Amino acid sequence: MFRQSPFLLVVVVVLSPRLTHAEGVAGQVKKAVERCTLDQPGTAPFHLKATVMPTFDRDTGSGRTGQVEIWWASPTRWRREVQSAEFHQTEIVDSTHDWQKNDGDYLPEWLRQTEVELIKPVPPLSEVLQQVKSAEVHNFVNPANRSVSQVSISWVTNTGTTEDHNISRSSILLGSTGLLLYAGGLGWGGEFSDYAAFHGRMIARIVKVAEPQVTARVITLEDLAEVPADFFNAGAPDNDPHPIRTVLLDETSLRKNLLPAEPVAWPPLQDGPLEGNVTSEIVVDRQGKVREVGSIVCENMALKDAGRQWILAMQFSPFVQNGVPVQVLSQITIPFKTIRPAGVEIFESARAYFERGRLVGFPASAGKPYLLKAEFDAGNKSGAVAKGRYEDTWLSETQWRREGWFEDSHYVRSRNGDKLYQLAEGPEAAILQFVLKVLEPIPATDTMQEADWRIKRDTVNGLSAVRVLSGYESPEGKLDSEQARGFWFDDSGLLVKSFFNGLEGRRSDFQDFGGVRFPRRIDVLKDNSLAMRISVTGITAPGEIPTKNFEIKGHSWQRAFTSEVR
């Protein structure tokens, strides 16, 4: 029995992208980055101190806790101290002199990246501005007031080797105020929030970097006070003769130092692709040992742990720059090839379950025109429970209209031929978009990567089902509310349960329509408490409908950045 609770106000940001002139966006990026960069000419001398801790509770045992403190007089005169449980570094730069003292022989990449991003969010700015000019650019529009809420810029760089092709993805995300929300590429980037003014700059007081992710919180940002006369003395005699440096290297150059090793013994796989690549960012220390492995990208994520262990076991001859050993940050790609184990259940691909789920459980798959009506109960802005309406008019794959009403809000998505339309009106439009997604939650196959999904046998209300899941799941089986997406199909292929945005959708009371079984009731649950109930009140023939009903003049829509089919 589920616990009853007040119906939740479920908010989903509605995104409507449109292309923007790249030259203009390059100017926007330059302005945003310079506005939040401390390490540049013209910045007032400052003292900054930040604490660093794992972002997620699941990573508390990672040892990624530390502190960063910076005393900055100018771009060529500063002092910095970084510290973690196993490493402590003091560095002083004064003009062309660089003094460094290290307690430990390896500077963790997460700590290095943190101290950089705190004062210089986009280190390779000139390179990024060149890439932006030919990047894919989209505006995200708030449907309630049609204002631009975010600008997304993304591009791909070819990496890897001749034998093992690979790419590196980079992106910039700007908020409605022009501030930097996210920036990232190979070896740099982070998430930026909690901005505050400092002498004409807007500085993020919370910066999140690396994988597993850490959060740096600025606890002090103030004018640089008077310091001792030798505070910036980069000529002191007790410095380390070989300072620690981290160098970004392409994969081809990295592989030149890779030492021979035994072939990888990949474990058998019960489902998913048997051949493909494992890719990750890595950091190699000055002795040639792999010290950090980033997020694993693999055509079959069942090999994620095996791939990580193999990468960690790699050995390189030391990398030397100007006669001095350096740490190296790069990307590595490993091909895999394995077999199916004997005597285990073999599952189909995630794509196959998704396509069958649509075929057996969504009315449009029947190929018959219909008008479906539904009602739902949800919480409004004042917290009271109110009733909303939904209609789905379907004539064909290229002529349909989905529409919802709630309080004084209205949301429509429609198609007429090759043209798509979207209209959002009122403060509760996001709830209506959420209703559309709950009714048809299976992701479009053109937006999915097979490697992201894991498949296993499970049960729903005591009945056998196949679970198709992506995102993080704890060892105890708890799904991450932000990252995890899951879909449960019964033995006939019917979707009986879904999970996304931390909400569970349970589908029941199935009714036949032209050979398709669709749910007359969908309960949306948050932590086992009822958050929304959608009830289908009827499905009938639509009758004669003018073509103009499928057009919304002035509200053309380009489908992008959504996994929804309609």
Per-residue model confidence as pLDDT tens digits over 31-89: 999 999 999 999 999 999 999 999 999 999 999 999 999 999 999 999 999 999 999 99
Q: With cut-offs at 50, 70 and 90, classify the pLDDT of residue 481.
A: confident
pLDDT at 162: 66
Average the pLDDT over 369-390 and give the result. 90
Pairwise CA distance, residues 24 & 271, whole Å: 47
Portions of the chain given CATH number 2.50.20.10? 350-550
Question: Tokens 């940002």 belong to which residue?
Answer: 221
Q: With cut-offs at 50, 70 and 90, classify the pLDDT of residue 148.
A: low
Tell me which DSSP letter residue 229 carries: T
- Beta-sheet pairing, 246-248 with 324-337: parallel
Q: How many CB atoms lie within 10 A of CB 523?
A: 18
Average the pLDDT over 510-534 and give the result. 94
Strands (E), 39-178: 46-54, 66-74, 77-84, 88-94, 97-103, 136-141, 148-160, 165-175
Q: Record the tokens describing residue 455, joined without a space.
A: 């498949």
Percent of the chain whose predicted confidence (pLDDT) is above 70:
93
Portions of the chain given CATH number 3.30.1150? 246-337
Q: Which of 23-32, 118-127, 348-357 has the lowest mean pLDDT?
A: 23-32
Pairwise CA distance, residues 229 & 75, whole Å: 19
Nearest in space to 216 (alpha carbons), one of 33, 49, 38: 49
Average the pLDDT over 157-186 and give the result. 84
The highest-level CATH class for domain 350-550 is mainly beta
Q: Record the tokens describing residue 155, joined without a space.
A: 């591009």
Q: Do 221 and 236 form a contact (C-beta atoms < 8 A)?
A: no
Strands (E), 407-441: 409-416, 419-425
Average the pLDDT over 514-527 and give the result. 94
Sign, CA torsion 16/21/24/28: positive
| Cross-strand bridge partners of residue 148 | 141
Residue 1 in this model has a pLDDT that exceeds 60? no
Rg of the chain taking only CA atoms, in angstroms: 27
Residue 7 in this model has a pLDDT that exceeds 50? no
Residues recorded for the chain: 566
**At a CB cut-off of 8 Å and minimum separation 6, what does 145 contact?**
none
Residue 13 in this model has a pLDDT that exceeds 50? no
Q: With cut-offs at 50, 70 and 90, classify the pLDDT of residue 379.
A: confident
Pairwise CA distance, residues 139 & 150, whole Å: 6
Q: Which of 288-297, 317-326, 340-349 has the lowest mean pLDDT?
A: 340-349
Q: With cut-offs at 50, 70 and 90, classify the pLDDT of residue 12.
A: very low
CATH code of the region 246-337: 3.30.1150
